[in-house]
Amino acid sequence: MSEVVLEAIVLGSETRGEYDRLVHAYTRELGRVEARVVSGRKIRSRLFPHLMPGSRIFLRLAHKHQYTVTDALTEELVLFEAESPYFHIRFPRILALVRALTPPYFPDPRFWHALLSVMQTKNTDISFMLRLLGYDMSHARCGLCEEKNLFAFSLSDHAFTCSFCSSRFQESDLVFLN
């Protein structure tokens, strides 16, 4: 069993079983990491407050067959410290983009620094993040009808959509561009 301590940005989490969680985080050294949090859904879990989406944390991971979170320490709570309500709406969309579009365990130090810059400057330009991830919208068209006026980006189809075609997708699957 190996153990590693990394600085990470929490992208989100999902339930696994009755008490466990699977946390998604982005690190400079490993890229996007998926790690199991044993008893992470329990109310008295000591890790739960540190694994809030948008938190910048120090994460201790143990690896045997999969990564398991053994400890976490919050460095910065970006969503709670930001005063702009606009940032509270847009930043979770950026985290959803990173979670959906980055491959697991594929480090990109340049992208890590860009994500840190977004957190520090509170720049929530969705088109900038899409461009960093390889989806430049300057010449893009709607993936369904070829319309030029883009409205959203589909996380499941990895395609841009116009306002008319976006109604064909679930709202949770879309990242709105404006």
**Residue 46's pLDDT is what?**
84
Residue 127, judged by CB atoms within 10 A of its CB (0-12, 13-18, 19+), counts as: middle
Domain count of the fold of the chain = 2
State the pTM of this model.
0.88
Q: Is the pLDDT of residue 28 over 90?
A: yes
pLDDT digits (tens, 9 = 90+) for 79-93: 666 567 777 778 888
The CATH number of whichever domain residue 50 belongs to comes to: 2.40.50.140
Q: Over the Cα atoms of the chain, what is R_g? A: 17
Does residue 69 sit in the same domain as residue 29? yes
Rounded to an integer, the average pLDDT of 68-77 is: 88
**Average confidence score pLDDT of the chain:** 89
CA dihedral 97, 111, 12, 131 (to 10 degrees): -10
Does residue 90 sit in the same domain as residue 157? yes
| Domain encompassing residue 41 | 2-78
Residues 90-102 as b/e (b if ≥16 CB within 10 A, e otherwise) read bbbbbbbbbbbbb
Assign 49 a pLDDT band (cuts: 50, 70, 90). confident
